[in-house]
Amino acid sequence: MDRSIYNEPLVSRYTSREMQELFSEQTRFSTWRRCWVALAEAQMELGLTDLIQPQMIVRMKECVDTIDFAAAAKKEKEIRHDVMAHVYTFGQQCPEAEGIIHLGATSQFVVCNTDLMLQKKALFLVKRSLVNTIANLAAFCKKHKNTATLGFTHYQPAQPTTVGKRHTLYLQDLLMDLESLEFLETQIKARGAKGTVGTQATFLELFKGDHNKVRRLDTLVAEKLGFSQVFPVTGQTYPRKLDVKLCETLSGIGISAHKFAVDLRLLSNLKVQEEPFAQKQTGSSAMAYKRNPMRSERMTGLCRKLMGLVANFQATAANQWFERTLDDSAIRRMDIPQAFLLTDAILKLYMNITSDMVVYTKQIEKYLMEELPFMATEKILMQAVERGKSRQEMHEVVKVHSVAAGKRVKMEGCGNDLLDRLADDAAIPFEREELDALVQDFKQFTGRASQQTDEYLREQITPVLEKYTDLLGNIDTSLSV
């Protein structure tokens, strides 16, 4: 690493080697060459044997990965055109094929088809990480399906739920993301061989006006590049609307991860649940006791960046005049790799965190016991009525004591003494032991949380994990920093 110039943190700190290599210059320009090979091979197979011979194809294939980057950079500086610089460099290495490289094609033949090929591969890596994150969360949900915990609405204490049930909410978000990704995969088609403005005019000339051969060239090239479908019509580029859908899908993962990360940061503050904390990890340079949720905080920041990219893709797609303008080029060079690298970094963190989260059940019980007396008042009212008391009279008595107990907690910092107050009031037909019994079993206040968790895992998550068994495991989730 050259430390005298700026280095992209996504590469130097946060992302996987696989995703980095996928968007490297080596991969991109080798893929350009594979596009040129596919085009020449298809043209030869469809009858241009007077121009293209098998030995040309053989030589081109031999040189796919041996790129002279210095020569290409020198040529680009001279002619100010990256594609033609690489056509020239490829031709220098394959002199016998020099005349037929890029035959009839426009620059976007290699640029667009390569972008689409890389996106397909990158989406596979994202899907693999997403499925493994889902698996981690599912295991956590199953383990803690019966662990009663205080629910929150408006970040104020609400009815209890279970830790497992709460995490099915994050699972459901990720499952929606997976479904969106699966749909996006069906939308990625090859640009194919469409010519300068999408009319295939040059190819029609090459094949002497044979429309059927030109149509077959389009699909044959796509097949050779690994696509089952090709865009029926294009301008000079594939529709930039697809880029918008791509970023919306990836940013959707960012939204889901952001929600989880913020919630975990709040839980960490309450000391009821935490992300993993390394044995020698330092939480603060000044406050040695601190256990800052740095992974969740990092994930929040990366998600914010990813979610913000959508507007760039929308503006680019909306501003493509007629068949194409070049204002899409520079921003896409940055934003497409960044969108995938950000998603990769986010899911790497998500997998890391969910692989070993810590739950503090005693702290959870403490919060429950502070709030359950209030939540048990409805049950107390109902049972008081069963003992012959007026609900309206009981409601007023309970309300007065509840307000007083709440005021004492807030104003004096004392514990919740509502049950003591109720037990000491002669109007309440219960002894203290009976009142205690009403709040001892936390689970009675969680409704169907445990059953819902079981049902959700069995009916929604298990089929997904069974479908993608081959994607589970074998992912390095260790963090470099």
- Give the three-class secondary structure for 365: helix
Catalytic residue among 12, 24, 228, 284, which?
284
Whole-number Cα distances in Å, 200 to 95, 114, 206, 407: 27, 19, 10, 78
Nearest CA-CA partner of 207 in 78, 77, 52, 426: 52
Q: Is the dihedral of CA 302, 336, 249, 123 positive or negative?
A: negative
Nearest CA-CA partner of 98 in 107, 106, 88: 88
Q: Is 284 a catalytic residue?
A: yes
Q: CA neighbours within 13 Å on the CB side: how many for 331?
A: 18
User: Which residues fall within 8 angstroms of residue 6, CB to CB, at 6 or more apart?
Assistant: none
Answer whether 116's CB lies under 8 Å from 194's CB.
Answer: no
Residue 393 identity? E
Answer whether 272's CB lies under 8 Å from 149's CB.
Answer: yes
Residue 406 identity? G
Nearest CA-CA partner of 238 in 339, 182, 317: 317
Catalytic residue among 4, 154, 478, 480, which?
154
Nearest CA-CA partner of 45 in 204, 189, 213, 200: 213
Nearest CA-CA partner of 111 in 195, 31, 225, 57: 31
Q: Is 154 a catalytic residue?
A: yes
Measured distance CA(22)–CA(344) in Å, rounded: 12
Residue 62 identity? E
Burial classification of residue 155, based on how many CB atoms lie within 10 Å of its CB (0-12 exposed, 13-18 middle, 19 or more buried): exposed
Active-site positions?
154, 284
